[in-house]
Structure 1
Amino acid sequence: MRSSRRAAIVAAAMAALLPVTACGGEGGSGDNTVEVFTWWADGGEKVGLDALVGVFDTRCPAQTFENGAIAGGAGANAKQVLASRLQTGSPPDTFQAHAGAELVDYIAAGQIEDLSSSYDDWGLREAFPPGLIDNLTYEDKIYSVPANIHRANVVWTNKQVLAKAGVTQAPTSMAEFVDALDAVRASGVTAPLAVGTDWTQLMLLETVLITVLGPDEFTGLWSGDTDWRGAEVTKAIADYDRLLGYSNGDRDALDWTDAERMLMNGRAGFQLMGDWEAADLDAMGFRDYYGYFTFPGSGETFQWLADSFTLPRGASNVDGARCWLETVGSSDGQREFNTKKGSIPARTDADPVNYPPYQQSAMADWKTATQVPSCAHGSACSQGMQEAANSAVAKFSTDHDAAALQNALAQAAEQFATS
């Protein structure tokens, strides 16, 4: 059976992740199973995936969905397994990837197919905004279909913790944020800012960089137009280090959901995380107890990322994969998925009335705020740069060597420049 074959492949990849010589483009599984490879294994992400599968089952009745999810925040574990499978010529039928620069590695390796003609067939060039189409295009071709738009620069709060500390308004500057953190700590919360492992730390650093540099210079960090060795980056790293001083000492051992639990159980008052947290908190019955605001000083900026799906070269069930991709880009698919996941639709024809309050506010901001990409989630940088940045902030979490962090990020930007 196909599912047994997939399980064996994944088990081998997880165990070793070693290159194995194999023939590319295996003929096919002999059935209509569509293996969809994601990192949406639990919480609000799994709820969103299940909703999308429901639409797929209706639109593609001749196909059978197979869940190829690998758990792990931001896809860290999934990407390792996927890399091994692509290398050995055993790809899933479609896989999740962040839209933007992260796809360049797959394109350069010849591992994913051009979907430009499908965009014409499915009317996606008209459905998605021109700016997003530009961000999805690489050398005049498009290689993925985005399911959504997420916002990264959002701070989530525990209303009860903040009320006890006397914090009644959302901070709008770094100084006000520090005052709020001090107030929460004074109320008895040891670590007022919940932080998780390396990629969540990179998210926090990015938001500080946006605040200090502004959107244009921040975007220039990834295009090469802004100097990583400049004085403003030095200041941002100092501000970031100050914020880490308000966080939990075990941050390097926690995934984002572990940090989220700190927020829920009152062991923290704030957490910087993407807006998938809204769906996760809602799914766990916490809707009435949390608040949110854009990171202080970046309220006019929308740091975006998009979960997208690809057609791998050598997929066993190409017809099924294309039906999945068409579902992902469809109006009903995006509605059912995004209302559950906490993100907003990539399509411009979505009606805000169908969405919960947070998504309505994000949809409005998406139209008016300045859009900037995220390296932590692949829209700004390649996977090589992403891995180097994660390693650099992980090291900084322990040694707090600001000069070393700035130098490591500058060297990584030079090594992995994508434009």
Structure 2
Amino acid sequence: MSCALLSGAQAQEPLRAEVMHWWTSGGEAAGVRVFADAYQQAGGTWVDAAIAGGSNLRAAAINRIVGGHPPTSSQFNTGRQFDDLVGQGLLVDLDAVAMREKWRDVMPGPIADAASREGKFYAVPVNIHGHNWMFYKTETFEKAGISQAPKSFDEFFADMDKLKAAGLTPIAWGGEPWQEALVFDAVLLSEGGKDLFLKVYRDKDEAAVQSDDFKRVARTFHRMRDYVDAGAPGRKWNDAANMVITGKAGVQIMGDWAKGDFIAAGMTPGKEAGCALLPGQDAYLMGGDVFVFPKQTGAAAATEAQELLAKTLLDPATQIAFNEKKGSIPVRTDVDVSKMDACAQRGAALVKDKANQIPSINFLVSADTVGALQDTITSYFNDPSATDEDFAADFASVIGAAQ
């Protein structure tokens, strides 16, 4: 089943689109309202179906799609999370739209590839999230005697000592497996470099995982335990962001969706809200969000609603407005980002260069493998006696069986 752009007059009745997503925090909610308003301005009716938590939302969406009661569209992360739905023939092939709108010409190659299967688009990417950011409150840094973001991990840990001496929690840590794995991947890229990162996740090179460089990355990651408070286990990412926003903690290592909460709190990124990539690399560890369009049965209006929604999500003006709220950068590289915040402008500039486009783990391995690695990373981080040798061995066994 192919999807084509709407032409001619819109149907007299508004095109109803039920959209499932997990965007419920302050910055996320502001972002999704941009999409909802744009869709309604285009002549449709947006029916919001939010479920907090990515894994909760994905499970609910998959159950509905497989069960024959699909929404108009559902959010997934950019990558391989919707492989099974494509394999079962349950998603609309969007390639006609993609070719007509020249999606591949305006999106980074890794993003377009992650939204495609066998060369055809099965999802609409809506943003690019950087996964290797560090956010801080400039006022907090100044009070602790820190003048700028660290340029190396030696400087990073020296700054964490200053924050601890000032009576603050140095790192606002989100103690969930996906968050801890995200921080590990950011350290792997920053401390280990692009080549090691790609050998591990793209090439699934067990020897690279057993290397001294990988073990050094592991030790750097594990050392962060010394700067985390006792309340970290189970903490949500937005609660960790609030610790930084309120001056209770020094830094948060998180994807740039956290920036959306700083914006929602009235802070300007690059000014009151400081942002820096983890030290060591200028490469951009790219993630993001996509919307899939399940095949519909019944009225033609359901398909027309999907067509209108697909067009709306990638409208250039909507892309800017959405990503300004969400904290991410536009998935379109042909839009003017000069009025976006300083952090977004830096991210967009980095992504212009193919050499800086580093795909996240979600692009490169299956969802099952991602889950197994998250368990391995969490176990290592939360065990004070764990060794880098044992961690490397456990990690290599998962990578060796990766799909």
Query: Are residue 310 (structure 1) and residue 308 (structure 2) matched?
Result: no
261, 272, 283: which is aligned to 1:301?
283
SS at 1:96's partner residue?
strand
- Who is 2:28 aligned against? 45
SS at 1:155's partner residue?
strand
CA separation of 1:315/1:118 partners in 2, compared to 1, >3 Å: closer, same or farther? Answer: farther
231, 235, 249: which is aligned to 2:212?
231
- Who is 2:5 aligned against? none
SS at 1:97's partner residue?
strand
Which residue identity does 1:388 align to in structure 2? A
The answer to whether the 8 A contact 1:136-1:143 is kept is yes
CA distance, structure 2, for counterparts of residue 225 and residue 414 of structure 1: 7
Deviations 1:26-85 (A, max 9, x none): xxxx994211111112311111110111111122x1x3111111112xx12212222322
CA separation of 1:130/1:170 partners in 2, compared to 1, >3 Å: closer, same or farther? Answer: same
- Who is 1:413 aligned against? 399
217, 220, 225: which is aligned to 2:196?
217
CA separation of 1:315/1:182 partners in 2, compared to 1, >3 Å: closer, same or farther? Answer: farther
Query: Are residue 86 (structure 1) and residue 65 (structure 2) matched?
Result: yes
Query: Are residue 334 (structure 1) and residue 319 (structure 2) matched?
Result: yes
- Who is 1:147 aligned against? 126
Q: Report the number of matched residues.
A: 380
Which residue identity does 1:192 align to in structure 2? P
- Who is 2:304 aligned against? 319
SS at 1:251's partner residue?
coil
Which residue identity does 2:162 align to in structure 1? A
Deviations 1:100-156 (A, max 9, x none): 233333323433232111212333233324454344333222211111111111100
TM-score (norm 1): 0.85
Which residue identity does 1:260 align to in structure 2? A
Over aligned residue pairs, what C-alpha RMSD do you find?
2.1
The answer to whether the 8 A contact 1:92-1:312 is kept is yes
CA distance, structure 2, for counterparts of residue 138 and residue 308 of structure 1: 14
CA distance, structure 2, for counterparts of residue 395 and residue 84 of structure 1: 30
- 5 Å matches for 1:270-285? 270-285=251-266
CA distance, structure 2, for counterparts of residue 150 and residue 411 of structure 1: 29
The answer to whether the 8 A contact 1:155-1:292 is kept is yes
Gaps of 5+ in 1: 1-29
Query: Are residue 364 (structure 1) and residue 349 (structure 2) matched?
Result: yes
The answer to whether the 8 A contact 2:153-2:279 is kept is yes
- Who is 2:80 aligned against? 101
Identity of aligned residues (%): 28
CA separation of 1:81/1:135 partners in 2, compared to 1, >3 Å: closer, same or farther? Answer: closer
Deviations 1:5-46 (A, max 9, x none): xxxxxxxxxxxxxxxxxxxxxxxxx99421111111231111
- Who is 2:152 aligned against? 173
CA separation of 1:229/1:208 partners in 2, compared to 1, >3 Å: closer, same or farther? Answer: same
Post-superposition offset of 1:388:
1.3
SS at 1:253's partner residue?
coil
SS at 1:68's partner residue?
strand
- Who is 1:192 aligned against? 170
- Who is 2:359 aligned against? 373
Which residue identity does 1:193 align to in structure 2? I
- Who is 2:337 aligned against? 352
Q: Which moved more, 1:121-130 or 1:162-171?
A: 121-130
Post-superposition offset of 1:322:
2.0
- Who is 1:24 aligned against? none
- Who is 2:17 aligned against? 34
Post-superposition offset of 1:206:
0.5
CA separation of 1:348/1:249 partners in 2, compared to 1, >3 Å: closer, same or farther? Answer: same
CA separation of 1:315/1:336 partners in 2, compared to 1, >3 Å: closer, same or farther? Answer: farther
Gaps of 5+ in 2: 1-12
CA distance, structure 1, for counterparts of residue 149 and residue 344 of structure 2: 19
Deviations 1:174-197 (A, max 9, x none): 1111111111111222x2011102
CA separation of 1:205/1:314 partners in 2, compared to 1, >3 Å: closer, same or farther? Answer: same
Deviations 1:238-288 (A, max 9, x none): 110001221122222201011111112222101101112222111112335
Post-superposition offset of 1:173:
1.0
CA distance, structure 1, for counterparts of residue 51 and residue 213 of structure 2: 38
The answer to whether the 8 A contact 2:25-2:261 is kept is no
- Who is 2:378 aligned against? 394
CA distance, structure 1, for counterparts of residue 322 and residue 330 of structure 2: 9
SS at 1:117's partner residue?
helix
Query: Are residue 247 (structure 1) and residue 228 (structure 2) matched?
Result: yes
